[in-house]
Copies of this chain bind each other. A is one copy, B any other.
Amino acid sequence: MSPTIPSLAGKLGGLQSSAIRDLLKLTVRPDIIGLAGGLPDAELMPRERIAVAADAALRDSACLQYTESPGWAPLRAVLAERESARLGRTVGLSEVFVTHGSQQALSLLAEVLLDPGALVIVEDPAYVGALQVFRAAGARIVAVPLDREGMRIDALTELLERGERPALVHTVSNFHNPGGVTMAEHRRRELAELAQRYGFWVIEDDPYGELWFDRPAPAPIASYSHNVIRLSSASKILSPALRVGWLVAPDAVCRGVELLKQGADLCGSALTHQITADLLADESWLAGHVDSVRTAYGARAKALVHAFRATFGDRASCTDAAGGMFVWADFTDGTDTADLLPRALEHGVAYVPGSAFAVDGGYRNSLRMCFTTSDEATLTEAIDRMARAVG
């Protein structure tokens, strides 16, 4: 007699393999230019510097042992120093918790902060990794739209004034995935003030903040309120294979996360934590490295945006190439991007239709394009192919 596997529908928050996901599996074909991915460029990762750090760490067997659940202490010390500088206040060691990428920070925080049925406010379009986590936690999800200045705080205020009482608000404040926009400074202050007034948590999810092209993003929302939990990651500036994300949160939240981390996977890797600490502490090297990533991504983003605007003119609009990894575009001529996708693949270009990021449906005329892993000429060719597919 075979045992059963219970339905995972509830636990997955309904985010199962979709038709779009199946179509996009085709995009690893070498003849297709991939704007659909969401990966940083491995060629820009500091392979040789990581090799030096690995070699140094491996001179002592301490890096091979289990480490503390909140992360290897010297890594937390480096992160506390960096976050102190960013937030303009002293961040204590007990406020820094290292996770297995910032996706794990999201998933543990959802467990710590949310009772089933709790209200979570997300941005629309949304980071689907966050949506999945909040849905799996049994949260009730309400979306607030983005505009060019990030989350529409007027819409959030309206919800609060109507009596909605969120347990938490999730925002990708810098160079939004998928929306491409950055929250304006005045909105950051307003969001922090609302969090204080109504007593909710804000998760400021910030994996892309250091990847600005022309000017740095405004100060973090977390610099305005202790109700804001800041998430960041080494994945986009160093390498996702380090599996180092972190959160900065009040001590009580970190202790809750710690207890859950023990059940989830005990601890992170002392080896990759030590490598990451070495690289992050090497300030002048790091500044030069991040600058080289910014320069490369900036050139690619500008080429993509230029080609898109030159090609589609009034028929579509797209976000500026200001930072991060993504450009979001909207067709204004009624082009349905999910319908277009099979034709685009035939013409040799892949992207993600906007509907894949919609919280309650919509974004049928939108798309997300990732510019990180193709050079400028290839990105220009991608837009040519897209134009031929649109016809």
Contact = CB atoms under 8 A, between A and B. Distances in A.
Interface string A220-243: 000000110000000100011111
Contacts of A48: 58
Interface stretch (A39-47, A154-162, A208-216, A324-332): A39-47
B64 A50 contact: yes
A112 interface: yes
Interface string A104-124: 100100011111001000000
A42 B54 contact: no
A106 to B, nearest CB: 8
Interface stretch (A179-187, A258-266, A281-289, A363-371): A258-266
A354 interface: no
A268 interface: yes
A199 interface: yes
Contacts of A259: 8, 12, 16
Question: What bracket does the count of chain A residues touching chain B fall in?
Answer: 35 or more
A271 to B, nearest CB: 4
A18 interface: no
Interface string A246-273: 0000001100100110111111111110
B64 A107 contact: no
A388 interface: no
A109 B103 CA distance: 19
Contacts of A227: 2-3
Question: How many protomers of this protein does the assembly include?
Answer: 2
A48 B111 CA distance: 39
A63 interface: yes
A167 interface: yes
A263 B107 contact: yes
Given A58-B47, A241-B271, A100 B103 contact: no
Interface stretch (A129-137, A170-178, A304-312, A344-352): A129-137
A256 to B, nearest CB: 5
Contacts of A55: 51, 54-55
A66 B5 CA distance: 29
A242 B263 contact: no
A148 to B, nearest CB: 29
A49 B84 CA distance: 38
Q: Is the interface of A mostly helix, strand, loop or mixed?
A: helix
A134 to B, nearest CB: 10
A241 B269 contact: yes
A111 B240 contact: no
B3 A200 contact: yes
Interface string A1-40: 1111110100111001000000000000000000000011
A101 interface: yes
Contacts of A256: 5, 8
Contact of A269 (B51, B115, B199, B242): B242
A264 B264 contact: yes
A133 B264 CA distance: 8
A224 to B, nearest CB: 15
A39 B8 CA distance: 35
Contact of A1 (B2, B196, B253): B196
A62 B47 CA distance: 10
Contacts of A2: 199, 226-227
A378 interface: no
Contact of A265 (B100, B115, B269): B100
B8 A112 contact: yes
B4 A199 contact: yes
Contact of A51 (B13, B40, B58): B58
Contacts of A65: 39-40, 42, 45, 239-241
Top 6 closest pairs, chain A to chain B, by CB: A1-B199, A64-B239, A104-B265, A51-B58, A241-B271, A42-B61
